Amino acid sequence: MTTASLEDRGSGARPGARARAGLRSVQRFQSLGLGVLGLLIVVALGDLLPRSGVVDRDAFPPVTEMLAELGRQLGQGDFWTAFFQTLRGWAVGLLIAMVAGIVLGIVIGSVTFLRRLTASTIEFLRPIPSVALIPVVVMLYGPAFKSGLIMVVYASFWQILVQMLYGVADVDPVVRDTARSYRFSRWAVVRTVVWPTALPYVMTGFRLAAAVALIIEVTAEVFVGTPGLGKLIGTANSSGALTKMYALIIVVGLIGVAVNLAARAIERRALRWHSSVRKEVR
């Protein structure tokens, strides 16, 4: 055995593991570099096409002008008020949908009679787009915070509930029966058997619901007039301030990217014990 091999054994390091870690670092760097390059190409085209006359400048200003307007908006108090109003509507709606979807999913999924009883109702209500509720919420609450909240909860709830039902259905019946034979309480069965199996499904639903909630929150602000960035976008559009409108749209897009990254980070942390996540870090 060589001295290098002894040193590797003594330090607990494996050459194969180090090589895989180095390869992952290179791949991540390449992926990040390509992503930045693609973004720069889009920005360059978005600035060049309006200036060259290929795209009507009155309808689509150069990207550099949008970014300059975005910088001005960052210094406005109204912008930050609307920014936090949008985040509040998104977060509160998503939280309500998560709690309701998880609780009802466990209850319905654990009782065969309830699952059969509600199956057709769920399949009927789930495909209805939340924007179809706009006339109803406007009549009930007008352009108030509740209107957007109802739409966000409705759209996000189904993402969580359906995934939770799949997760409960995936529980091994032998494990469930074994826990009951050992006289586990209902809460103990849920905590030690149902929840670990359903958690990957819940996190998938959470990631989907987080994106849907943001889309519906901004949609409600634009079309219903609930306070937030969407309302500022609608106002800028109606007043002809297109550069400001596009700047605000860029902000919404950046929020969407941040929401997606945060959801994936939470998912990886919550499922760090799961085989799918362990494969990613190997």
Asked if residue 229 lies in contact with residue 221, where contact means CB atoms within 8 angstroms, the answer is yes
- In this structure, the answer to whether residues 14 and 98 fall within a common structural domain is no
DSSP classification of residue 272: T
- In this structure, the answer to whether residues 67 and 30 fall within a common structural domain is no
Tell whether 277 is covered by a domain: yes
Each residue's pLDDT tens digit, 192-230: 888 988 999 999 999 999 999 999 999 999 999 899 999
- In this structure, the answer to whether residues 132 and 250 fall within a common structural domain is yes
Q: Both tokens of residue 257?
A: 């990217």
Angle at 209 between CA 207 and CA 210, to 5 degrees: 65
- In this structure, the answer to whether residues 145 and 260 fall within a common structural domain is yes
Is residue 77 scored above 80 in pLDDT?
Answer: yes
pLDDT given at position 58: 81
Each residue's pLDDT tens digit, 167-189: 999 988 888 888 888 888 888 88
Instruction: State how far the Cα of 226 lies from the Cα of 171, in Å rounded to an integer.
Output: 42
Q: Which of 90, 108, 88, 109 is nearest to 98 (CA)?
A: 90
pLDDT given at position 4: 46
Q: Provide long-range contacts, Cβ within 8 A and 24+ apart, for 75-80.
A: 78/232, 79/232
- In this structure, the answer to whether residues 43 and 127 fall within a common structural domain is no
- In this structure, the answer to whether residues 88 and 33 fall within a common structural domain is no
Asked if residue 220 lies in contact with residue 147, where contact means CB atoms within 8 angstroms, the answer is yes
Is residue 6 scored above 70 in pLDDT?
Answer: no
Tell whether 144 is covered by a domain: yes
Tell whether 272 is covered by a domain: yes
- In this structure, the answer to whether residues 94 and 148 fall within a common structural domain is yes
DSSP classification of residue 62: -
pLDDT given at position 268: 86
Residue 67 structural domain: 63-281
Tell whether 190 is covered by a domain: yes
Lowest-confidence range among 3-12, 32-41, 171-180, 209-218? 3-12
Tell whether 58 is covered by a domain: no
Number of domains making up the chain: 2
- In this structure, the answer to whether residues 124 and 24 fall within a common structural domain is no
Tell whether 57 is covered by a domain: no
pLDDT given at position 22: 65
pLDDT given at position 244: 93
Specify the amino acid at residue 191: R
What is the CATH number for 151? 1.10.3720.10
- In this structure, the answer to whether residues 134 and 20 fall within a common structural domain is no
- In this structure, the answer to whether residues 85 and 166 fall within a common structural domain is yes
Give the CA distances from residue 282 to residues 16, 23, 199, 277, in Å, rounded to whole numbers and listed in that order.
Answer: 11, 11, 22, 9
For 119, what's the count of Cα atoms within 13 Å in the CB-facing half-sphere?
A: 8
DSSP classification of residue 75: T
SS3 (DSSP) at 233: helix
- In this structure, the answer to whether residues 48 and 72 fall within a common structural domain is no
Give the rounded percent of residues in the chain with a pLDDT score beyond 70: 87
Q: Which of 82, 98, 84, 118 is nearest to 234 (CA)?
A: 82
Query: Can you give the pTM of this predicted structure?
Result: 0.82
Tell whether 39 is covered by a domain: yes
Each residue's pLDDT tens digit, 80-131: 999 999 999 999 999 999 999 999 999 999 888 999 999 999 999 888 888 8
Tell whether 218 is covered by a domain: yes
- In this structure, the answer to whether residues 180 and 231 fall within a common structural domain is yes
pLDDT given at position 51: 84
pLDDT given at position 14: 60
